[in-house]
Amino acid sequence: SHMSFEELLQMQSDMRTRVCKQATSGRKTAKPTKATVKRQQSKKGPLEMSAKKPVPFLRQVVSVTKKVQRDPRFDDLSGEYKPEIFMKTYSFLDSIKKQEKEMIQKQLKKCRNVEQKEKLQQLLNRMIQQEQAQKKQQKLRERELSLKRQQRELAKQGKKPFFLKKSEKRKLELAEKYAELKRSGKLESFLNKKRKRNAIKDKRRLPSQK
């Protein structure tokens, strides 16, 4: 109201030139309205979407940090797996497993419920299988260590070290298994079971006779 007509015209012309310059430079002149601005009440609160635009079907209401899962078996942060160090570190678990096995055996003798007895027997069989598998792995590691020692001794003597093939390792395992069965007196029963299995396999391979 205090400005003259000429000053108003000059102000309008200045505004037009400013708008043209901003349009040619690529800048946006229009300010976003309150309806289009996303507002958030708090850090963990949902975002307020505009009512003028259609809301997408799948939208992120609250920003969640993505959890990165890692497998310790294939991660360098967990270090290198060495069976000898692992067995020495967790050797105390063997005594705990032994106590648990004895406790289950006592419960199995006292139990009168048929269903509960079957569950205890299954648990005991699983523990025995795990113990046998652990012993087998221990024997394999001991055999590999002995072979490595022999190779080192040959290398020290200036001889060429030898490396066993998988088939030769398999033969050594079978020889040790047969020797162990013979010592325990279970060789004959093992051979009988193997003959029966082979006979069933041969019978299945034969053509069917109508």
What are 40's strand-pairing partners?
47
Q: What per-residue confidence (pLDDT) applies to 67?
A: 81
Q: What per-residue confidence (pLDDT) applies to 126?
A: 93
Q: What is the pTM of this model?
A: 0.48
The answer for residues whose C-beta is within 8 angstroms of residue 66's C-beta and 6 or more apart is none
Q: What per-residue confidence (pLDDT) applies to 148?
A: 82
Q: What per-residue confidence (pLDDT) applies to 60?
A: 63
| Token representation of residue 57 | 């079907």
Q: What is the DSSP letter of 56?
A: P
Mean pLDDT, the chain cut into blocks of 10 residues (210 residues total): 69 73 57 47 64 73 75 77 82 90 90 89 92 86 82 81 75 80 82 85 72
Listing DSSP states for 80-140 in one string gives ---HHHHHHHTTHHHHHHHHHHHHHHHHHHH---HHHHHHHHHHHHHHHHHHHHHHHHHHH
Alpha helices in the chain (DSSP H): 5-25, 83-89, 92-110, 114-156, 166-184, 187-205
Q: What per-residue confidence (pLDDT) applies to 61?
A: 64
Residue 12, CB half-sphere, CA atoms under 13 Å: how many?
Answer: 7
